[in-house]
Chains A and B, each alone.
Chain A
Amino acid sequence: MSAVIENHHDDHHHGPDKGLMRWVLTTNHKDIGTLYLWFSFMMFLVGGCMALVIRAELFQPGLQLVVPEFFNQMTTMHGLIMVFGAVMPAFVGLANWLVPMMIGAPDMALPRMNNYSFWILPFAFGMLLSTLFMEGGAPNFGWTFYAPLSTEYAPPSVTFFIFAVHLMGISSIMGSINVIVTILNLRAPGMRLMDMPLFVWTWLITAYLLIAVMPVLAGVVTMMLMDIHFGTAFFNAGGGGDPVLFQHVFWFFGHPEVYIMILPAFGIVSAIIPTFARKKLFGYDSMVYATASIAFLSFIVWAHHMFTVGMPIAGELYFMYATMLIAVPTGVKVFNWVATMWQGSMTFETPMLFAIAFVILFTIGGLSGLMLAIVPADFQYHDTYFVVAHFHYVLVPGSIFSIMAAAYYWLPKWTGNMYDETLGKTHFWLSFVGVNVTFFPQHFIGLAGMPRRYPDYALQFADWNMVSSVGAFLFGFSQLLFLFIVIKCIRGGKQATDEVWDGAEGLEWTVESPAPYHTFSTPPALPERSLA
């Protein structure tokens, strides 16, 4: 590491501006990364409050707090906000902060477009949230917005929902073009693709997936718009169209989308585990190939979300077997993480706790996914709480835990201060318990037959629903502790060293802490043959 030149200065070096306009006008990848991360956290709290409305209503059978119409708006908005407003922007924020530093680039390739990608989002989500106050209420058709619920029977606010999705798509596509171009064009001289850190690799593939499927989402909402306002018949069988067409096009976007929300998480965990196991990542090459295989498979498995819609049997079988194939590359990854820890000198700081919890709990979510892939079994599980438990296991202790892990892992580099380790561990254990208490019982009530998206349920589901609601409130309020820890860390704390963690490898640890406003204005020299 000593060969690496630290901390470059050149003549047009300047620091950040003062005041609000710094954030509005900025073209700096670190500023924009920070904006993305704060925006994501705000959306996480907003979407979380909606989840708590849902869980509060489901605390007991019967209708207590909200009317069913509002309950439907909550399930819909919770899903949309968490997927498009919390998880995706958080990963883009991390990419902004980390990709240029990890590959030795001076900034993102197209800095002004980078600002544009971010500032579209507050407008998009402002418009989406404003639908809550419109006549007829917010979208109430579920985050998957199946036609004809979202066309013929939708509230008028659906038009604004459609345009909000368009804006998010434009933002995502531009953000992804930026990431992909940065990675392909701005790597430090001598850094080959197979030298890149895995976080960079997973984001390269994620960006490719985003550019490939966000336009398809734009296409499907445009067809909805035409059906609603211009009398076309895409999703109306009376004119020769088909509501199932909606599901095919939507899930052609939707399945790659779920990998968009997990591949960067794989990259984060692949950075953290080697650091705290003090070993090189086991099977770097196979990790790259596994990520690429998962991305490829994601395009050819979409109809496993629609087994009960009445597809021909050949289609059901094909999508079942293709889906099960995904377990192979995913298994490679889990094996590699475990093998990395094997005989390592492990310590358990907060990022590592989140990363290990990720490996265990994501695997639970992956295994319930395999159960759902089995066509005859899925006829029973479809649209029950088992599905809810499944995808929350991969998204909450999966994606969200990885984002938390990343925040704790890189906060010292971003702020120059160590976070409070005791509070961090407390946050981890509260979250870990909260998540499992919330979602594990949902497996049971799902298998017992409780359908998702209903405000009321039969009496036999009462006990586990109560447990689940208690867990949800525990998990939700624990996140305020996270907010406190982050603010405390930004305001002060033990000074962090440049390397921060003693087992950490990568170019971002060669610059000082906090990372200067401009890093690598001239590219760094790479250490000989290292996985820089």
Chain B
Amino acid sequence: MASDNTYESYYVPHNSPLPIFASLGLFLTVYGGGSLLNEMSSGASSNFGITVFMMGGLVMAATLFFWFSKVIEENHAKMYSQQMNKSFVWGMSWFIFSEVMFFAAFFGALFYIRFWVVDWIGGVGERGPSDMVWPDYVPQWPLLDNPNPEQFAAPDGVIGPWGLPLVNTLLLVTSSFTVTFAHHAINHGERKKIVGWLVATIALGLAFLVCQAVEYYEAYAHYGLTLNSGIFGSTFFMLTGFHGAHVTIGTIMLIVMLGRAMKGHFTKTDCFGFEAAAWYWHFVDVVWLLLFVLVYILGT
């Protein structure tokens, strides 16, 4: 903490229209999304859900654009003190912690299913009598034989770790290095290198997403591994899907940072936006390594 005489004044913005638009955008997005899902599931044909959903997405995207522009502008106008920067650092750190807990819920679900439920349904362990419902069911993992095959058609196979997933691991681990090289380039003020390493990182991220899409296609087309193929498909797509969504968000963040780097933003002491994106990227990378070990290697 600074002592009294070195204390800079902390910037408190006056009224802002940004948050109310963000609230409205968020509301329209989820209200439209919810209507859309209900229309889909009930088979009703209506454009209401999709229209509201798209409107919400637009409002949200525009608001975020203006919000971040405003923050960057204020930063360039030297309105932020060192203490303000610390608030951003803490804020981003706690946000990433909340994301960690979000994934923890799905990893926890996988753990519980895999170590207890699959056996218990088959009558193994203390809950012996439960195998009376589906006597033909054999507990195994990955679950290629669902307890109730009429409701959930089991997959013919699952995706092994040593094909595309290994490639994806190499892509993401490499991208963690390239983003760090970009950071070093910022520290040394080497403009061209910042842009170069960022482009490399984004390319690796996009390559990852393409591989993931190919993998999903394989799963659906060749293995019958789908969202409704029982609990293996459920946990597999939930974990890899949300991870993929986070890679997408991370890539968008990096693209924004690339744009800013090309405009000449970021110096050694003033590059929090970049750092936040880089931390997010490393977080996404760590989640992938957990996925690779727990879902692909130990799970198949």
Contact = CB atoms under 8 A, between A and B. Distances in A.
Interface of A: 10, 14, 17, 21-22, 24-27, 105-107, 109-113, 115-116, 119-120, 123-124, 127, 156, 159-160, 162-163, 166-167, 170, 173, 176-178, 180-181, 184-187, 189-190, 211-216, 218-220, 222-223, 225-226, 228-234, 236-242, 244-245, 248-249, 252, 310, 312-313, 518, 521-523, 525
B34 interface: yes
Contacts of B148: 237-239
Nearest to A248: B112
- Would you call the interface of chain A mostly helix, strand, loop, or mixed? helix
Contacts of A187: 1
A38 to B, nearest CB: 17
Given A10-B9, A245-B112, A173 B87 contact: no
Of A25, A107, A211, A240, the most chain B CB neighbours within 10 A belong to A240
B104 interface: yes
A211 B112 contact: no
B98 A173 contact: yes
Contacts of A518: 12
Interface of B: 1-4, 7, 9-10, 12-20, 22-24, 26-27, 30-31, 33-34, 37-38, 40-42, 67, 83, 86-87, 90-91, 94-95, 97-99, 101-102, 104-106, 108-109, 112-113, 117-118, 120-121, 125-127, 133, 143, 146-148, 151-152, 227-235, 237-238
A238 B109 CA distance: 17
B70 to A, nearest CB: 9
Contacts of A248: 108, 112
Contacts of A189: 1-4, 7
A242 B113 contact: yes
B20 A166 contact: no
A216 B112 CA distance: 15
A237 B30 contact: no
A105 B86 CA distance: 14
A269 B33 CA distance: 43
Contacts of B19: 112-113, 115-116, 119
A229 B91 contact: no
A230 B234 CA distance: 9
Contacts of B121: 237, 240, 242
Closest 4 interchain pairs by CB?
A219-B105, A238-B148, A231-B228, A240-B231
A239 B153 CA distance: 8
A156 B90 contact: no
A170 B26 contact: yes
B9 A522 contact: yes
Contact of B227 (A10, A25, A230): A230
B30 A109 contact: no
A25 B15 contact: yes
A112 to B, nearest CB: 5
Contact of A216 (B14, B104, B230): B104
A159 B105 contact: no
Given A116-B23, A173-B98, A214-B98, 6 more contacts: A25-B20, A112-B19, A186-B87, A215-B105, A220-B105, A522-B9
Contacts of A170: 26
Contacts of B231: 233-234, 239-241
Contact of B4 (A27, A105, A229, A523): A523
Given A216-B101, A226-B234, A240-B117, A163 B228 contact: no
A238 B97 contact: no
Contacts of B42: 156
A107 B105 contact: no
Given A17-B15, A27-B13, A239 B146 contact: yes
A386 B231 CA distance: 37
Contacts of A14: 14
A185 B2 CA distance: 11
Of B4, B20, B98, the most chain A CB neighbours within 10 A belong to B98
B30 A166 contact: yes
B87 A160 contact: no
B13 A241 contact: no
Contacts of B112: 242, 245, 248
Given A116-B22, A166-B30, A107 B12 contact: yes
A189 B33 CA distance: 47
Contacts of B101: 211-213, 215-216
Contacts of B118: 240
Of A162, A215, A225, the most chain B CB neighbours within 10 A belong to A215
Nearest to B141: A240
A159 B20 contact: no
Contacts of A219: 102, 104-106, 109
A107 B84 CA distance: 12
Nearest to B241: A226
A248 B110 CA distance: 12
B18 A112 contact: yes
A185 B83 contact: yes
A27 B38 CA distance: 37
Of A185, A190, A222, the most chain B CB neighbours within 10 A belong to A185
